Structure 1
Amino acid sequence: MILQKINYKLLYILILIPYLIGLFIPLMELDSAQHATMAMRMYYENDFFNIIKSHQPYLDKPHMHYWLAAISFKIFGVSEFSYRLPAFCFLLLGALSTFKLGKLLYNKDVGHIASLIFLSSQTIILSAHDVRTDAVLTGSIIFSLWKLISYFKTSKIVDIFFGFLFLGIAFNTKGLIAVVAIGLYIFSYLIYERNWKSIFNWKIGVGIFTFLLAIFPVLYAYYNQFDMHPELLVKGQKNVSGVKFILWDQVFNRLNAVGFEKTSPDYFFFFHTLLWAFIPFSLIGYIAIFNKIKFFIKIKFRKVAKQEFLTLGGFLSVILLISFSKFKLPHYLNILIPILSILTASFLVQLFLDKKEKYLKALLIIQYIIVGVLVLAVVYLSIFTFKISNWFLVIISVLGVFGLFYLAFQKRNYFTKIILLSVVAAAWINFNLNALFYPKLLKYQGGLQLAEIVVDKQIPIEKIYLLKETYNWSFDFYTKKNTKHISVEDLEKQNDIWLVVDEVNFKQIKEKVIDIQDVISVRHFPVTRLSGKFLNKKTRDKVLTNTYLIKL
């Protein structure tokens, strides 16, 4: 092995530390807190068939993510830890599967380094605490891919079974896009291997049957909630088929932004988003992609021993597909990170084996620059953005900086220093973010603050309302109740109730001359949309708004 075993083990331990800390960070608005609240309703009402978003039928993402969270709530109770635990487990599965697939395609060293690159990627670390559906999706897709590639190499039926089972889990998490992505990965593998005959085998039939069994619970749940109730009003329409939606409409609605606000017309959105999503290996990843393209052009795509097209072909085909979507979000890239990690790891290992010291030295200089900039940015975010309240964590952070300097100047080969410096830097950066920065940042999440006040003052939850068409997911989750809704017109008919409102609605209520008996206000900022003015202590107050809990 290129790196000593102790190094691999130590690096795995270090990079998992920020993941573990992130399990206990308060949930963020919007999606993470929203999904947790929806799963909480499933658990409290013991209703796993229906997906409900604030008392309304929800037709978007399928059930698996919510089922896993609700089951976790049943076992461990309702908390941010319980909500995040299934996602964390699937990311560990993703890391294991990335290692296994890297080992299968190349060797053990490529597998380990790919797994470490996967775990070090900023978008993957972020997905472990800002939990949406993507952690479960990513883990299930790469596990399915590993097992299916293993089948094409060994013809073992057990690989077909688990490959298609987890393909079903991926479908149950995000819909048809999971099947399309894995299909493109498999096509990229087979077109280079010229192994089409392996598809025409009775074992594939067993796999398809397994897939259909795996997705049956979701199809039945959709049929039960929507197809059996044509009277339901869903996004302004009746006679909506849940089965048709998940089998067809969902993926094409997102590609065409039907029912969604167009986010970015930029066809290069995912290519430049990858620059931060794949940090600290983003530039090396791009170099690896161009190097692989150059290689296949040079050999004119002829079959060469110990080479594969899965990682390059799979990456390019999927990123091009989602780039033409009219509705784009950065976390759509997550399903690409495992195969990009393998591609990057194989590139680095090959440079080491070919003894291309000058090339590796240049890459190390790039990593010095990236890590240096990131360290300065994180020091500012963690120490200077908010008032320090835990000096013990700051001391640990400072010791970590000395550790990075030690790695930077230690006498080792360039390849080893690239891996050690990058992974340790990712661990240090996200330790600081998860232990020092995010806990302070989330104190500016209005709903969370009001929930703490409600619990502390023992305000009756059943007397608290939200205005119709407004949501406050962190308030719902941390009061452990789906807050009831009420119209402005009906407020005058009520007394002795509490209302959660933002600044705009607070002014509207005052204009209605509604008798307000008590006002509790907290400072609020949309914490997932950071700005320079917010991060600057001197200008922060200018961008803060108030969230109110008022008694009528």
Structure 2
Amino acid sequence: MGYQATSVTSTPTTASALSVPYSALYLLLLLFYIPALFVPLMDNDSAHHANIALKMYLDGNYTHLIDQGKPYLDKPHLLFWTSALSYHIFGVNAFAYKFPSFLFTILGTYATYRLGWLLYNKEVGKLAGLILATAFAYVLSTNDVRMDAMLTGSATFAIWQLCAYIAHKKILHLVLAALGLAMGFATKGWVGAVVPAVAILLHLLYQRNWRMLFHGRWLLLILLFFVFISPVLNAYYVQFDLHPALEVRGKTNVSGARFILWDQNFERMQGESFSTRKRDVTFFLHTFLWAFLPWSLLGVYAMIARARIFIATRFHYQHALELITWGAPVFFIALFSLSKFKLPHYLNILFPLIALLLASHLHSTRNSPRQTKIYWYTQLFVLTGMALLGLILNLWVFPFQSMWVMLLAGLLLLVWLGTLFLNLEKSKRTIYWSVTGAVFFFFMHHTNFYPQLLNYQAGTTLAKLSTEKNITPDQVFIYQMDRSFSYDFNTAYLHETITLDRIKTLSQVNKNLWIVTDEEGLDRLQKSGIPFQQQFQAQDYHVSKVKWKFLHPDTRQEALSYMYLIQL
């Protein structure tokens, strides 16, 4: 079956046939991770979450989650707390919002490396971290920042510390595991704690380690976990439980503590609060194929290969195997597939485990000519396809605007193609080719494609214009449109929504009144007879859901709408 056992040990191995200069490859990743921190925030979830943190920052109230003036009862506080703190340090800007999640990306990558070292060897750990750090959706989570980077980093850290406790029995590992579980919970609720818990349960069941499974110190872990999540529980209690008359989602007597400890889980599984409730049981399977690029086909291959081994051995414990990296992804992908919610970023929390599974599989088959040949041609096909797509997007859809960016992209292209001529066995060349190809692809996107794409997000454009013209934020109101989260964030002010009657009243006494509106709102203002002093417009498009009509330069104008900044 092409599997060669490797010893499961926490001790680093000696020289390996798969050894590569990982430090140089990891440094290359900074070429796309760092630029991503400065790309403007996208409307929808990213800018939306940033504005909830902005409300905290402006008011100094860190217990209440407020969204557009209303209580926010959905996700817990950690992302908002860390973002608000970052605003205090770096100011209100895209970098400040993204930086805490970037730190958790580093944590998740490092924890994956250490977990791989613990379960297999140092070489597997380094490769797993590299695979994870170049997976498409993992990279995307540091650009279009939501809860995913924090959730993945926290959960992976918790799994690493739990495995370290099982191996070494040190209390410090138990304390840190409780902290990791609590951070996952404080980011997105129980999923951040349940995924590591199930992973460790499968680990102990596969090892038949009954003594550790029923170890009394797990009670200490549970106690510490609740101690660490107490700030979140207290914040929910203060905002909701102490105010039973508060109306939330059309209801009163809402318990915030009950919601995060109980109700949220069933909302997610039943698909409540989501527009997508289709029972497409294959959704997460085909989502994985793009979300884990460029490693997805090899990841599927590794999952199948490991399944065959488990079936052949009837799941009897083998010292060279572990069940965490296969069992947990299979269990949760099946669970997610049977639920009504279909959100692709829920896969991210499983990526570190799948990266470890793939790394261990590549390491164990490194001396098999047949296997390494399959891997090489698979990655040759996948990365060539990604590169061609990247070139189309950055030469035809949005041609390079910066000579320096284009020259560096060209240099990275040469480095990537140069791996074809390295005198290396296919196992090493596959890694070089995959990583340098991913660096080339993501560099183009974070330095050229996304910055140009965001030029079509009118909220960001009009916010820059407002700053340039020194428009006082409290003189600007939103009229007749969904809120532009990016406009609020980039002006560091949460603007009030206004009615036409109030516009008429204020325009009579305020000669410096500004309105942000869309095409329909502009039409109504014009028909109302209210005179304008100045009018600016910006092209607008839903940049998080691009379609062919927009991407094609010849039809792009037909796909655009407009937003306006008007002085009355």
Cα contact 1:501–1:548 (8 A) shared by 2: yes
1:419 aligns with 2:431: yes
Structure 2 equivalent of residue 289 of structure 1:
303
Cα deviations across residues 181-226 of structure 1 (Å, max 9, x unaligned)?
1222112211201113213333222211110111100000000001
2:354 alignment partner in structure 1: 340
Per-residue Cα deviation, 1:389-417 (whole angstroms, up to 9, x for no partner): 21121111112111111102322111101
The more displaced of 314-323 and 138-147 is 314-323
Quickly say closer, same or farther: Cα 1:468–1:520, change in 2 above 3 A: closer
CA distance in 2, matches of 1:513, 1:449: 27
Relative distance call for 1:348 and 1:70 in structure 2 (3 A) is: same
The Cα of 1:510 is off from its aligned counterpart by: 3.6
**CA apart distance, 1:551:** 2.8
Q: CA–CA distance in 2 between the matches of 1:212 and 1:468?
A: 45
State TM-score, norm by structure 2. 0.94
Aligned to 1:492: 504
Q: Secondary structure at the match of 1:546?
A: strand
Write the letter of the residue equivalent to 2:457. Q
Which position in structure 1 is the counterpart of 2:454?
442
Contact kept in structure 1, 2:117 and 2:125, CA below 8 Å: yes
Report the equivalent of 2:12: none
Give yes or no for contact 1:516–1:550 (8 Å, CA) kept in 2. yes
Equivalent residues in 2 for 1:9-48 (5 A)?
Answer: 9-48=23-62
**What's the counterpart of residue 128 of structure 1?**
142
Distance, in Å, in 2 between the alignment partners of 1:265 and 1:548 is 40
> Please, which runs of 5 or more residues in structure 1 have no aligned partner?
none
Letter in 2 for 1:172: A
Structure 2 gaps, min length 5: 1-14
User: Comparing 26-35 with 494-503, which one deviates more in the overlay?
Assistant: 494-503
Q: Aligned in 2, Cα 1:329/1:212: closer, same or farther, shift over 3 Å?
A: same
Q: 1:406 maps to which residue?
A: 418
Structure 1 CA distance, aligned partners of 2:312 and 2:19?
Answer: 36
Does 2:535 correspond to 1:523? no
Q: Tell me which residue corresponds to 2:221.
A: 207
Residue 384 of structure 1 deviates from its aligned partner by 1.9
Pick one of 367, 387, 403 that aligns with 1:375.
387
Aligned to 1:224: 238
Distance 2:102 2:434 in 1: 22
- Cα distance in 1 for partners of 2:182, 2:60 equals 24
After TM superposition, give the deviation of residue 329 of structure 1 in Å. Answer: 1.6
**Identical pairs, percent:** 37
2:565 maps to what in 1?
549
Matched AA of 2:556: R
Offset at residue 293 of structure 1 (A): 0.6
Cα pair 2:154 2:192 within 8 Å, conserved: no
The answer on 1:69 being equivalent to 2:83 is: yes
Query: Mean alpha-carbon deviation: is it higher for 56-65 or for 260-269?
Result: 260-269
Is the contact made by 2:41 and 2:486 (CA closer than 8 Å) also made in structure 1? yes
CA-CA distance at 1:37 after TM superposition? 1.5
TM-score normalised according to structure 1 size: 0.97
Secondary structure of the structure 2 residue equivalent to 1:499: strand
1:143 maps to a residue whose letter is F
For 2:213 and 2:18, how far apart are their aligned partners in 1?
40
Deviates more, 1:14-23 or 1:134-143: 14-23
Equivalent residue number for residue 5 of structure 2: none
1:402-437, Cα deviation, whole Å (9 max, x unpaired): 111110232211110111111111111111100111
After TM superposition, the structure 1 stretch with the greater mean CA deviation from structure 2, 60-69 or 12-21, is 12-21
The range that moved more, 247-256 or 504-513, is: 504-513
Alignment correspondent of 1:256: 270
Cα offset for 1:70? 0.8
* Aligned positions, number: 550
Partner of residue 8, structure 2: none
Runs of 4+ in 1 over 6 A off after TM superposition: 3-6
Q: Which amino acid aligns with 2:40?
A: P
More displaced 10-residue stretch of structure 1: 69-78 or 161-170: 69-78
2:204–2:213 contact (8 Å) kept in structure 1 = no
Q: Summarize deviations over 1:331-386 as a string: whole Å, max 9, x none.
A: 1111010000000001100111xx21122112101111111111111111112222
Kept after mapping to 2: 8 A contact 1:184/1:318: no
Q: Which residue of the partner structure matches residue 322 of structure 1?
A: 336
